[in-house]
A and B are shown apart, each in its own frame.
Chain A
Amino acid sequence: MHIPDGYLSPATCAAFYAGSTPFWYVALQRVKRALHTRLVPLISLFSAFCFLIMMFNLPLPGGTTGHAVGIGLATVVLGPWAAMLAVSVALIIQALFFGDGGITAIGANCFNMAIVGSLVAYVFYRAIAGRSPIVSFRRVVAAGLAGYAAINVSALFAAIEFGVQPLFYKDASGAPLYCPYPLSVSIPAMMIGHLTIAGMAELIVSAGLVAFLQWSDPSLLKATAGNAVALEDSTRRKTRSLQPIWIGLCVLMILTPLGILATGTAWGEWMASDFASPSIRQQIADSSLHQPAPVAVPLGLEQMSQLWTAPFSRYAPPYIRSAGFGYLLSAMFGVGLVMLVCFLVVRLMRGFVVGRPRQPAV
């Protein structure tokens, strides 16, 4: 993925230096604003860390080894702008001092991995992690997938940069001056390796280290978990904001006896006994384009209707005289039942998502 010198034309390299500059500028402005904080040493140390994990050979399933870039982790811990700087610094030092990646290609490499990579990782992480708690397993999955997506989108950018070279740059004999492979070759060649080996390395490192941080120091994951933190702080405000819904629900329940005012039977909701009543037979015919109702009760309907007798049949419990009060009681019972089921489902889901109790920040 580290594009060496000689693979991209000087014009392409210049375009990517120019394209990266505004992102670096914005990122630096943001860092400058936060210079009084511990961000400067944190970015430096983090890019040193990124540099190092690019050297760790990770054994992958299938017998190969791969190395991660650390885009996913840097984005989750530092946020996209600071991560852009940290990964760029690591890439620049690799190119300048360790000969990994070209000097003319620094702009392109930083654009693909540091800029596009961080932004993709951030979008994926926020979208998948949602408002889940900081120590939830969902955040581990989100970090892994964010790293996987970031490295693959970066690789796709590199593949496109390779693939357009032979279209524009050839010598007099028609020999390509830089990367000779067209898009039809460069995209599959790059993506096969990244969708499998490099992507998996990034996934394992991002997910593994976010799980490690959840266990050792969850406070470091707060930078990109704005929603989860806000959610914990504003539980009370959330409860208050539900008040109008509760009031509306109560009003609707009180109004339920209005249903008695409506006459007749809803189409298709007939009971077996309705077929014996001449007035209801007339209603059925009137509402069915004057098709007369069958003479006898349909056999299936008669058999099936005896399978289950509802406790509040026709919203009127048999032991309550007043039909209006029966309606109200049925409404309250129904609403309560729905809420109970919802509450149980949410409890069940939360237990599944949280996985383990929250650790205090060290």
Chain B
Amino acid sequence: MTGHHHARGRRGFIEQTIDGLHSAMDRAMYADRSASGRGALQQLDPRVKVAGLAALILASAMAAKLWVIAAVLLAALVLAAISYLSIWMIATRVWFATLTFTAAFAVPALFLTPGTIVYTTPGLLWTITSQGLTTAGFLILRSETAATLALVLVFTTPWMHILKALRLFRVPVVFVVILGMTCRYILLLLENAHEMFESRKSRTVGPMTRGEQRRIAIASTGALLSRTFQLSGEVYLAMQSRGFRGEVYILDDFRMQTMDWAAAIGFASLTAALVWVGR
């Protein structure tokens, strides 16, 4: 009875890990699909998008007024809407996850921040200060805004284009190549790990002790590590067979169109205005 209750009441680590892997794969696939959509941002040069959205994140980080950060969030939502990204998807994927994490961090600040008392809880006599409310608002609004902007970028631009656009910030080519390869193999390893845990789950009957679970987790990680090394060897051979001798070239085939220049000017002036009023 206890075992049954345990299995139903608290999900095992295998299920939790499968869920995590699944949502990461899901996110990657959704990003791939939506990045090839026909929305406004999808049509823009990736360099403009990376620089423009990064500038907006910076503007929200620099703002010392809550309403300015709210305005950046509104701008992010408008950009998402004209790029045909579902607001419901943003709410469930970003806002909810960020809120649960940041609220846990921000709520104690309501009581711990010294300042003008605006409310005292009846039983415990804990005091909430107006400064506490403001600081919690800053934390939550800023992290939600930045997460939304990051998601808008990732869901409207193919990953490889984002990485290529990093060259705009003078990121060395080798680093961009390593980032690109890592992205590609993360997806492969995600699938490997997912299959491994699924097959383990299908062979598991009844509850396991913590020790057994830990041993399985370490053994699976070890197996994945072996596969990683094996794959690394194969990739190296493949690179050599294609003539890799240490020099890295990437195709910089982005070309700025009139629309891209207009968008760049738009992002720049919006950011400048927000930074100015947010002082």
Q: Is A356 close to B, CB under 8 A?
A: no
B32 CB, nearest partner CB in chain A, Å: 11
Which residues of chain B are within 8 angstroms of A44 by Cβ–Cβ distance?
178, 181-182, 185, 232, 235
Whether A104 pairs with B57 at a CB distance below 8 angstroms is: yes
Within 8 Å of chain B (Cβ to Cβ): is A253?
no
With A45-B232, A48-B189 as given contacts, are A53 and B181 in contact (CB-CB < 8 Å)?
A: no
Contact check, A40 vs B178: say whether CB atoms are below 8 A apart: yes
B36 within 8 A of A: no
Residue of B nearest to A62 (CB): B210
Q: For the complex, is A220 an interface residue (Cβ under 8 Å from B)? A: yes
**Is A109 located at the chain interface by the 8 A CB criterion?**
no
Q: Which residues of B contact A208 (CB under 8 A)?
A: 218, 221-222
Asked if A175 and B131 make an inter-chain contact with CB atoms under 8 angstroms apart, the answer reads yes
Residue of B with least CB distance to A68:
B221
For residues 65 through 115 of chain A, which have their beta carbon under 8 Å from a beta carbon of chain B?
Answer: 65, 73, 85, 89-90, 92-93, 95-99, 102-104
* A33→B122 CA distance, assembly (Å): 67
Instruction: Kindly state whether residue B201 has any CB partner on chain A within 8 Å.
Output: no
Q: Are B185 and A177 in contact (CB under 8 A)?
A: no
- The answer to whether the Cβ of B213 comes within 8 Å of any Cβ in the partner chain is yes
| B154 CB contacts on chain A under 8 angstroms | 96-97
**Contact for B162 among A73, A96, A213, CB less than 8 A:** A96
Give complex CA distance A213, B135 in Å. 48
Q: Kindly supply a per-residue 1/0 record for chain B positions 222-243, scoring 1 wherever the CB is within 8 Å of any chain A CB and 0 otherwise.
A: 1011101101110110010000
Taking CB atoms, residues of chain A closer than 8 Å to B131 are: 173-176
Stretch at the interface among B80-88, B142-150, B256-264, B266-274: B142-150
Q: Is the CB of B146 within 8 A of A104?
A: yes
Q: Measured between C-beta atoms, what is the minimum distance from B147 to chain A in Å?
A: 5
Q: Which of A37-55 contact B (CB under 8 A)?
A: 38, 40-49, 51-53, 55
Taking the closest CB of chain A, its distance from the CB of B204, in whole angstroms, is 13
Known interface pairs A56-B17, A99-B150; A177-B174 also in contact (CB < 8 Å): no
Return B230 CB to nearest CB of chain A, in Å: 9
- Whether the Cβ atoms of A93 and B61 lie closer than 8 Å is no
Q: Is the CB of A180 within 8 A of B182?
A: no
Which of B58, B145, B147, B225 is within 8 Å of A99, CB to CB?
Answer: B147
**B79 proximity list for chain A (CB < 8 A):** none
How far is A102 from B139 in the complex, measured between Cα atoms in Å?
A: 12
Q: Within 8 Å CB of B162, what residues of A?
A: 96-97
Taking CB atoms, residues of chain B closer than 8 Å to A204 are: 214, 218
Instruction: Render B173-207 as a binary contact track against A, CB cut-off 8 A, 1 for contact.
Output: 01101110111011011100100000000000000
For the complex, what is the distance from the CA of A41 to the CA of B181, rounded to whole Å?
A: 7
Q: Does A339 contact B (CB under 8 A)?
A: no
Give a binary string over B139-175; 1 marks a CB under 8 Å from any A CB, 0 the rest.
1011101110011011000010010000000001011
Residues of A within 8 A of B183 (CB): 93, 97
Contact call B139/A58, Cβ cutoff below 8 A = no
> Are B182 and A173 within 8 A (Cβ)?
no
Q: Tell me which of A5-13, A127-135, A260-268 binds B.
A: A5-13
Per-position binary interface string of chain A over residues 15-54, scored 1 when its CB falls under 8 Å from any chain B CB and 0 otherwise: 0000000001000100110011010111111111101110
19 interchain pairs, CB-CB under 8 A = A4-B98, A36-B246, A45-B185, A48-B185, A49-B189, A55-B17, A56-B17, A56-B193, A73-B225, A93-B186, A173-B116, A173-B130, A173-B131, A175-B130, A175-B132, A179-B139, A180-B132, A180-B139, A209-B218
If A4-B98, A5-B60, A55-B193 are given as contacts, then 5 extra A-B residue pairs at C-beta distance below 8 Å, sorted by A number, are A4-B146, A45-B228, A45-B231, A104-B58, A205-B221
